[in-house]
Amino acid sequence: MSNNLFLIGYRATGKSTVGKVVADALGRQFFDADIELESVAGKTIAAIFADDGESTFRDLETQTIARLAKVQHCVIALGGGAVMREENRQIIRASGQTVWLTASPECIEQRVNGDPLTGQRRPNLTTAGGLQEIREILEHREPVYGDCADLSLDTEELAPSEIAERICQWVQHEAEC
């Protein structure tokens, strides 16, 4: 097994922000799977959804995860829905450990609304939008997040540096076992 570290969770739970801090602290490379995917595709996730559909996006996502998983000793922030595909879960399990970053639907909505890039880069996933969409998607995804996670951390009341510190302590403890 590789010792990559995958960060999973709904959008705006801090995966990319925390991932960068963790990677720096552990002396590892950091990859944001969504940014890597957009770079290869040459367009935003929202544009991929609009032009090519979700199925094409999910195929590109799987290809991106498989490519990144081959890199050793890195931290990878995954897109919120990445773990919903069994093939992705198998790749992740085979190449590292997984940390699930959580937050309440209300906190997620506040963070999404406060980040102008989220709306530009990521499409709504249901016709509901807003808080209702977040609740619907989380209800569907949380059991899968939980099954995948080696560690779960609530990000709502913690600064990114505090979350990163807890993850680093856990990684170091796991390495000693």
Structure-token pair, residue 171:
């990684």
Question: With 60 as the cut, is the pLDDT of residue 125 above it?
Answer: no
What is the spatial distance between Cα 48 and Cα 45, in angstroms, rounded to a whole number? Answer: 5
DSSP characters over 109-132: HHHHHT-HHHHHHS--SSSS-HHH
- Domains in the chain: how many in total? 1
DSSP characters over 29-87: EEEEHHHHHHHHHTS-HHHHHHHH-HHHHHHHHHHHHHHHHTSSSEEEEPPTTGGGSHH
CATH number at residue 142: 3.40.50.300
Q: What is the pLDDT of residues 95-114, one digit of tens each?
A: 999 999 999 999 999 999 88
Alpha helices by DSSP H, listed for 122-159, are: 130-148
pTM of the model: 0.93
Q: How confident is residue 118, by pLDDT bands cut at 50, 70 and 90?
A: low
What is the spatial distance between Cα 21 and Cα 89, in angstroms, rounded to a whole number? Answer: 24
Q: What is the pLDDT of residues 63-95, one digit of tens each?
A: 999 999 999 999 999 999 999 999 999 999 999
pLDDT at 65: 99
Could you tell me the residue range of the domain that residue 70 belongs to? Answer: 4-176
Q: Are the beta carbons of 25 and 164 closer than 8 angstroms?
A: yes
Q: Are the beta carbons of 133 and 125 closer than 8 angstroms?
A: yes
